[in-house]
Amino acid sequence: MKGLNTALGAAGLAAFLALGEVVPRVGIVKEAYFPPTSRIASAFWTELNDGAFWSALGDTLTGWALGLAIAVGAGIAAGVLLCVVPYLREATASTIEFLRPIPSVALIPLAVLLYGTELKSVLLLVVYASFWQILIQVLYGVQDVDPVAEETARSYGLGTWARVRHVLWPSALPYVMTGVRLAAAVALILTITAELVIGAPGLGATIMVAQSSQAVPEMYALIVVTGLLGLIINVGARTVERRALAWHQSVRGEVTV
Amino acid sequence: MHALLDVSGLKKVYEGSGRRVEAVRDLTFTVDAGELVCLVGPSGCGKTTLLKCMGGLLTPTAGEVLLGGRKVSGPPPGMAFVFQEYGRSLFPWMRVGENVELPLKQKDLSKARRRELVADALESVGLTDAAGAYPWQLSGGMQQRVAIARALAYEPEVLLMDEPFAAVDAQTRADLEDLVRGLWRERGITILFVTHDIDEAVYLGERVVVLSASPTVVQEQLKVDLPVERDQLHTRVAPRFAELRTHVYEQIQAAKRGTLPVQDRLTKTDTPPLH
């Protein structure tokens, strides 16, 4: 069954690529704007042999990873703090609900004013967008601590820190992991957006350059690269999630009794 | 000489969202060191509230609980709790051994001593081989054994058990009852066992404290004069067992109707009259 699904998936992808090859060639769409698959593939190959491409990829990954790391760290710290300190959560709820829906891209002018085209501009946008994803999940996760588990910990004399570490954190972990997975995807979108719009060095800026210099196949090749990045990030995040939550009912599967 | 556990004038009122619920009105009783006492009462009579007040998990509205002469104001180190919901009380992210060991990490014990206590406790409940498994890989009865092992390893003076076998099947339940009696006799710990099951209370306890319906007071205290050596097959068909359970049953029915048989209340009989 699994083999069949893989085969179907591969066949579907092959058909899609073939369509991309045929449609421009027979003239249904303009070849100048929609180059056939083979041209994109060869442009892709050229990019892979270009040092500038790799440094752009490096810039993008740096912005993504650094931004995500800051957002995860800050989101978890803030989330736990808001829940552990009494009344803090209630006091901050309205502010969070106001700040959270602000689209990160609306902060682009601010980022340019503050940092120009530096990495810091990218980080500002990425951290702002990813931070809320993590924070909200941590807040939900901490709320989901089982009262019986909490009472058990208290009855055995576990102090506040021990309860945070042994009960609250593992209970919230499934939520945190979901938050990290969502934030990883959002962080990539914002990294590319910032590079595209602000012109900070990276894949986004390279796409922009390719577009403005009429290098259409190269532009498509770079877009494919960003797609592949997103795919790899999602698969990676899922793998980490499965490892960290091997005990959780969503992962552990059949139980032998 | 003081009793090990002394509950006096305990009252707990829950207040919130415009509702005032008097869960426990006025409870006074004692448990001596080394006793196995069963608390039994109609459902919803505040048994869990009482136990949580005793364990320092809830603050009583009035009255106090003394453990070894000292007032309980938070979970005391000399008390261990076994909850009814074993599946939620054990941490699924920790293996059985880690679950049992976690409370010991709060005590000032060497790693070797901790290991020894964990191994010993798991052996006592017959789960030596399960230390490396996750709780959710075990059956319900085994999970509750792990929770009991965790309590034993903690080396408490008093073991509080809140309807621990209410969620397991009848056969497992019988095994676990015998396990508790065995541990009590071996280790000499004091056990306060809360149940809604009259048969279980009479079979397990050396003494049964019958609670009234809510708002709760002590309806009757009853000494169980069955032999120390008990087994599921013979004890449960013994005529004395039947008499005792009938008596407790009547008391509970009376408690549900809200009538306190006058002569019982006045005499506070230690043992019911032979029928």
Question: Which residues of A sit within 8 Å Cβ distance of B?
Answer: 146, 148-149, 151-152, 154-159, 162, 166-167, 170, 173, 247-249, 252, 255-257
CB contact under 8 A, A158 and B79: no
Residue B271, pLDDT > 70, answer no
Element holding B161 (H helix, E strand): strand B158-162
B55 Cβ contact partners less than 8 Å away, ≥ 6 residues apart: A155, B72, B75, B79, B81, B160
Distances (CA, A) of A104 to A110, A118, A129, A189: 10, 17, 5, 11
Cα separations in angstroms, A160 against A150, A154, A247, B75, B103: 11, 9, 24, 13, 13
Please give the domain boundaries of chain A with CATH numbers for all domains. Answer: 42-243 (1.10.3720.10)
d(CA A222, CA A208): 10
Q: What is the pTM of this model?
A: 0.83
Rounded to whole angstroms, how far apart are CA atoms A217 and A35?
6
Query: Can you give the pLDDT at residue A160?
Result: 87
Report d(CA A114, CA A102) in Å as an integer.
18
Distance CA B145, CA B100 (A): 11
d(CA B46, CA B21): 11
Residue B258 burial by CB count (10 A; 0-12/13-18/19+): exposed, middle or buried?
Answer: exposed
Q: Please answer yes or no on whether A159 and B106 come within 8 Å at the CB atom.
A: yes
Query: Among B75, B89, B105, whose Cβ lies nearest the Cβ of A149?
Result: B89
Average pLDDT over residues B120-142: 92
* Nearest CB to B57 within list A146, A155, A257: A155
Interface of B with A in 139-178 (CB under 8 A): 139, 150, 154
Q: What is residue A235's predicted lDDT score, i.e. its pLDDT?
A: 94
CATH of domain B5-78+158-267: 3.40.50.300
Query: Is B56 in Cβ contact with A155 (below 8 Å)?
Result: yes
Residues of chain B found within 8 Å of residue A157, distances taken between Cβ atoms: 75, 77, 103, 106
What pLDDT was estimated at residue B267? 41
The H or E element that residue B211 is part of is strand B207-211
> Residues spanned by CATH 3.40.50.300 within chain B?
5-78+158-267
Find the residue in B nearest to A244 (Cα). Answer: B93
Phi, psi of B207 (to 5 degrees): -150, 145
Residues B9 and B26 sit within 8 Å (Cβ to Cβ) = yes
- How far apart are alpha carbons B213 and B41 in whole angstroms? 7
Short-list A8, A202, A48, CA closest to A121 = A202
Taking only the tens place, the pLDDT of each residue in B81-92 is: 999 999 899 999
Structure ipTM: 0.85
Residues B44-61 have a mean pLDDT of 89
How far is A254 from A35, CA to CA, in rounded Å?
49
Task: Kindly tell me if the per-residue pLDDT of B265 is higher than 50.
Answer: no
The whole-chain average pLDDT of chain A stands at 92
As to burial, measured by CB atoms within 10 angstroms (0-12 exposed, 13-18 middle, 19+ buried), residue B191 is buried
Is B106 near chain A, with CB under 8 Å? yes
**Is residue B13's pLDDT more than 60?**
yes
> What pLDDT is recorded for position B48?
87
For chain A, give the longest Cα–Cα distance: 76
When CB atoms are compared, the residue of B103, B136, B154 closest to A252 is B136
Q: What is the pLDDT of residues A114-167, one digit of tens each?
A: 999 889 999 999 999 999 999 999 999 988 899 999 999 999 999 888 998 999
Interface membership of B136 toward A (CB under 8 Å): yes
Q: Indicate the pLDDT class of residue B268, thresholds 50, 70 and 90.
A: very low
